[in-house]
């Protein structure tokens, strides 16, 4: 069983990275192989809505950044995905947004009924919006999300301060333990309990402007 954690901060050794490392440590202690991928600061171009990924080989984006393709393939192969980001004007950084728009537009079907969660890091405020923005990608991909005791937020400005947020770090660790449990539950159910996708209705699209 594998998980990947995406660091959407341009600071590869900053507070977001430290928060994700703490979650990864919990997952590894539960027997889940976990890799942290550096997404922030990679200068990904945004999705242009061309739809080329839907007809291309392996449903890959038509833009060919190696970092993007490698990360998306690892996400598809993983049993669990963590999206981590700092708070920029009550939102996620632009590079992370561009990456996620393209990754989920091309690959949402690969993330269906996998396990996903988020970590939002902030100096003081705005992180609820970041957590919600990140979680929306999982909601629309029909990814299963694990619980915790509070919003998936931790506080810190200077490097390392996030580790001093005892409640925030506890919330992240508790969520990671729930994530490991959920990954194991889904793995144990394979071949025994069919996924809802095997009997669901055909997808309906309704445009409100005709």
Over residues 41-51, the pLDDT tens digits come to 998 999 999 99
Q: Which two tokens stand for residue 182?
A: 């959920």
Summarised one tens digit per residue, pLDDT across range 34-76 is: 999 999 999 899 999 999 999 988 899 999 888 999 999 999 9
Q: Distance between CA 178 and CA 79 in Å, rounded? A: 14
33 DSSP β-pair partners: 2
Q: Distance between CA 196 and CA 143 in Å, rounded? A: 12
Confidence band (pLDDT; 50, 70, 90) for 203? confident
123-143: average pLDDT: 97
Confidence band (pLDDT; 50, 70, 90) for 198? low
| Residues contacting 56, CB < 8 A, separation 6+ | 62
Domains of the chain with bracketed CATH: 2-198 (3.40.50.360)
pLDDT at 146: 98
CA geometry: angle 52, 58, 60, nearest 5 deg: 45
pLDDT at 81: 98
Q: Which of helix, strand or coil describes residue 93? A: coil
């Amino acid at each position: 069983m594998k998980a990947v954690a995406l660091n959407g901060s341009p600071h590869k050794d900053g507070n977001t990275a430290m928060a994700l490392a703490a979650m990864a440590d919990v997952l590894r202690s539960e027997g889940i192989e976990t890799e942290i991928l550096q997404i922030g600061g990679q200068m990904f171009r945004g999705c242009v809505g061309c739809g080329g990924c839907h007809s291309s080989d392996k449903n890959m984006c038509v833009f060919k950044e190696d970092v993007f393709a490698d990360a998306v393939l690892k996400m598809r192969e993983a049993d669990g995905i963590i999206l981590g980001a700092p708070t920029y004007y009550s939102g996620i950084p632009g590079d992370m947004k561009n990456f996620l728009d393209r990754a989920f537009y091309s690959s949402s079907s690969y993330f269906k009924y996998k396990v996903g969660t988020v970590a939002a890091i902030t100096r003081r405020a705005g992180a609820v919006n970041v957590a919600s923005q990140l979680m929306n990608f999982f909601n629309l991909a029909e990814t299963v999300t694990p619980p915790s005791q509070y919003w998936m937020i931790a506080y810190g400005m200077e490097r390392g301060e996030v580790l001093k947020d005892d409640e925030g770090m506890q919330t992240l660790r508790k969520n990671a333990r729930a994530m490991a449990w959920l990954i194991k539950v889904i793995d144990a159910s394979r071949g025994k309990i069919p996924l809802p996708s095997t009997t669901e209705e055909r997808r309906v699209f309704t445009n409100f402007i005709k």
